[in-house]
Amino acid sequence: MPDGVNDLELLVNDLSINGQFPDIPSFLQAIDNVMDMRVKARQFGQEMYCHRNLAYAQVTKEQNMRQAFQSLAHAKRSVLVQWLTQHGPYWEDERTHDPGDYLECNDQVVTDTAIGEAAFRRFNGSDYRLVSLLPSSWEYSPLSVWWRLEGGDDRNIEVANHTTAEELEAALRIASPPITSWNNLADVARERFPSLTFSGDAFDPFRGHPFVPGAALRIIERLEILEKMKGCFDASGERTQEGQRLYQEYFTGENAWFSDSSDPEKHDFKSALTFKHPGKAGETLFCSMHGKVKTPQIRVHFSWPISKDAALYIVYVGPKITKR
């Protein structure tokens, strides 16, 4: 399998789709959750591997997955069909365990399944994990897998099993390798936060400044909140309850991560806080709203207010501008 941002690999647990859904809408809700996890994985440079036969797994007692997809809008159906039946990637293309290997989990033989392959990879030192649909009989983590060997010398290993995008994101963040330079930070940020629009020179202010790993992680944390805020609007454009929670937690109070520059700063540093508009040639943006990192003094300046339809521009990431 191709190298990713880290050595963590994700396989869709085919045993978590076995005709257990009472109707098609409940299955489609479950597959939406899996697609959310796939999007999150890709933000961290990861792919989600499936089996070629997954598209034919039984969803309800009467219908398989491909039949269920017929009720989807064309665009969503196309994405799912291309992933599952055309492009993959497919874990069986480079499977490591043999059909003769006896792998067992929860009193069930898991040879020739994603659970068996993930376990076998872990036996050999790789960090392979599973993604399971909800609801299913595989809603717990880790899964304890036994490799039954001749002579009774059985081996046991635990395999992490992810069921929500939030949980998966936390695992991917921990598994990600350390950011090693400001340029690396820029690359990671642009890849991980697709809802943010970075100006081409957003990270240029770091040129000539020594790299600080801890500060890089704090910047990622601030950008992550902005990414979440950009997605917290309902159909009418109003901030959702989650968006309001994020605003109260991170944009208000003495220790807020984000704040506006003071009126004197806006006056004294008006030119420095005015940036080329990333989306409109010849125009400028006055961006006094910023995220704060204290050690060293670093700021992330962005367009404000954040709304459902307008782009959220990140125009400056670097040392504090309004130093006196």
Chain segment 185-236, per-residue pLDDT in tens:
999 999 989 999 999 999 999 999 999 887 888 899 899 899 999 999 999 9
Supply the pLDDT for residue 218.
84
Supply the pLDDT for residue 124.
75
Supply the pLDDT for residue 168.
95
The separation between CA 112 and the C-alpha centre of its own chain, rounded to angstroms, equals 28
Supply the pLDDT for residue 94.
80
- pLDDT mean values, one per 10 residues, the chain (324 residues): 51 96 94 94 86 94 92 90 90 86 94 95 85 96 93 89 95 82 94 95 96 86 92 95 91 90 96 96 96 92 96 98 88
- Asked if 121 and 1 touch (Cβ cutoff 8 Å), the reply is no
For 121, counting Cβ atoms within 10 Å of its Cβ (0-12 exposed, 13-18 middle, 19+ buried), the class is buried
Supply the pLDDT for residue 7.
54
Distance, CA of 121 to CA of 118 (rounded, Å): 5
Q: The whole model's pTM is what?
A: 0.60
For 161, counting Cβ atoms within 10 Å of its Cβ (0-12 exposed, 13-18 middle, 19+ buried), the class is buried
Structure tokens at 291: 């995220």
Supply the pLDDT for residue 4.
31
Q: Which residues of 90-118 are buried (b: 16+ CB within 10 A; e: fewer)?
A: bbeeebebeeebbbbbeeeebbbbbbbbb
Supply the pLDDT for residue 177.
77
Distance, CA of 12 to CA of 130 (rounded, Å): 6
Structure tokens at 195: 């809802």
Supply the pLDDT for residue 47.
84
